[in-house]
Structure 1
Amino acid sequence: MNLSFFDQFMSPSLLGIPLIALAIITPWLMLPTPTHRWLNNRLMTLQSWFINQFTSQLMQPINLGGHKWAMLLTALMLFLISMNLLGLLPYTFTPTTQLSLNMAFALPLWLTTVLIGMFNQPTIALSHLLPEGTPTPLIPILIIIETISLFIRPLALGVRLTANLTAGHLLMQLIATAAFTLTNMMPTVALLTSTILLMLTILEVAVAMIQAYVFILLLSLYLQENI
């Protein structure tokens, strides 16, 4: 029974072909394409308003040199939100629960920000490894600690997103199984459990959006340090 709880995190396949590619392109097919009309429908207007508000808030503390990343970060934000929310539907697969997929986004983007900092302002980029006013005996230790923390950043990005979504999905399935099992034996307890499940589902919707935002926000902070 315990193994079946983790079956939802296995990449589904059809005739030996992994369906994760189909799940990844699904958000792109669902988002409406902007048109050249003067007036759009409500969905297009809401989507444009959300994208403009998010992009302006994300790029506000970043220098002008980092505004080139606006389209990339906004597209990644929409992708992660769509993937996280679609994974909450019954009988669906959430690709963002796979650490390999999250690391495929986190590692190259983090490495790019580091390389940009080393290329544009190497002195400032290296100064992050040693805080100002550090006593001389502590310099080697602090350099090692800051270097380790620098290389842990992409791992923290990927693991944070994976762990939060995985824990939420497991908890929802455990509570749903308990509610289904208790329906015949203790209907009152089953009803209470179903209420908790409904509240947890609402919480998971918020977590799905917040974790996507945190992922992009941390990337923008890393970019801000190196621009």
Structure 2
Amino acid sequence: MMTSFFDQFMSPTLMGISLLTIALVIPWLFFPAPTSRWLNNRLLTLQNWSIGKFILQLMAPINLGGHKWALPLTALMLMLLSINMLGLLPYTQTPTTQLSMNLGLAVPLWLATVLIGMRNQPTVALGHLLPEGTPLLLIPALVIIETISLFIRPLALGVRLTANLTAGHLLIQLLSTATFVMTSVLPPVAIFTATVLLLLTVLEVAVAMIQAYVFVLLMSLYLQENV
């Protein structure tokens, strides 16, 4: 039994063993497996078409050297999208509401883009710390500010994803609790809250999709600056 609304974000355990790994693996089982036939079914055709359009849009502004990132970024998008969507179902757990997991995804990828920029074009990478035409007196302050901005990027990525999903889940939990309580006390109010809950659920589905896309899009922008 839940004693707090935040209990829904705790990692599920069975006999003291965390089930977070299962929550990360199960969404991949819902994707249709490719076949060796000339003609695929409609679901697989739609999946391949969607992935192709996504890769085309994501890689269009990036130089040719960064196109090797198409596979990991697409896999990251599919993982975040499936986890966020399945986390809206009853009796499930959303791993992306854990800040530690989101930072575990954001920090290594961000660090990889920075190291690529430092290795391939160190002058351009360091030039991002100081805008062109800066007065001499402002150079030390701007270098410090831009350095802090650079290192805060992965934190912003992780916090953004965590905060949006956590807020949506909390609102759904609050409204569902209010609907359950008001059903026997004030039925008209319960009908209103149920309607708002339905609309909020639709909005949360859109948020789950948008936040997965925004996470990968920002990562591609960081990659674009360093290739």
- TM tier relative to shorter chain: over 0.9
User: 1:39 — aligned with what?
Assistant: 39
User: 2:200 — aligned with what?
Assistant: 200
- Tell me, in whole angstroms, the C-alpha distance in 2 between the residues paired with 1:28 and 1:82: 8
User: 2:142 — aligned with what?
Assistant: 142
Shift of 1:33: 1.2
User: 2:68 — aligned with what?
Assistant: 68
User: 1:94 — aligned with what?
Assistant: 94
- Tell me, in whole angstroms, the C-alpha distance in 2 between the residues paired with 1:69 and 1:37: 28
| 1:52-131 alignment runs, 5 A limit | 52-131=52-131
What letter is aligned with 2:158?
G
Shift of 1:135: 0.4
1:132-170: per-residue Cα shift (whole Å, max 9, x none)? 000000000000000000000000000000000000000
User: 1:209 — aligned with what?
Assistant: 209
The secondary structure found in structure 2 opposite 1:226 is: coil
Shift of 1:37: 1.1
The secondary structure found in structure 1 opposite 2:71 is: helix
Change (3 A) 1:100 1:173: same
The secondary structure found in structure 2 opposite 1:29 is: helix
1:72-95: per-residue Cα shift (whole Å, max 9, x none)? 000000000000000000111000
What letter is aligned with 1:113?
T
Moved over 4 A (4+): none
User: 1:176 — aligned with what?
Assistant: 176
Shift of 1:196: 0.2
- Tell me, in whole angstroms, the C-alpha distance in 2 between the residues paired with 1:74 and 1:86: 18
- Tell me, in whole angstroms, the C-alpha distance in 1 between the residues paired with 2:155 and 2:33: 34
- Tell me, in whole angstroms, the C-alpha distance in 1 between the residues paired with 2:34 and 2:133: 52
- Tell me, in whole angstroms, the C-alpha distance in 2 between the residues paired with 1:96 and 1:26: 14
Change (3 A) 1:222 1:186: same
The secondary structure found in structure 1 opposite 2:225 is: helix
- Tell me, in whole angstroms, the C-alpha distance in 2 between the residues paired with 1:34 and 1:146: 45
The secondary structure found in structure 2 opposite 1:164 is: helix
User: 2:49 — aligned with what?
Assistant: 49
TM-score relative to the length of structure 1: 0.98
The secondary structure found in structure 2 opposite 1:6 is: helix
The secondary structure found in structure 2 opposite 1:32 is: coil
User: Structure 2: which 5+ residue stretches go unaligned?
Assistant: none
- Tell me, in whole angstroms, the C-alpha distance in 2 between the residues paired with 1:219 and 1:34: 28
- Tell me, in whole angstroms, the C-alpha distance in 1 between the residues paired with 2:65 and 2:85: 32
User: 2:20 — aligned with what?
Assistant: 20
- Tell me, in whole angstroms, the C-alpha distance in 2 between the residues paired with 1:113 and 1:221: 10
The secondary structure found in structure 1 opposite 2:152 is: helix
Shift of 1:36: 1.8
- Tell me, in whole angstroms, the C-alpha distance in 2 between the residues paired with 1:45 and 1:153: 36
Residue-pair matches, total: 227
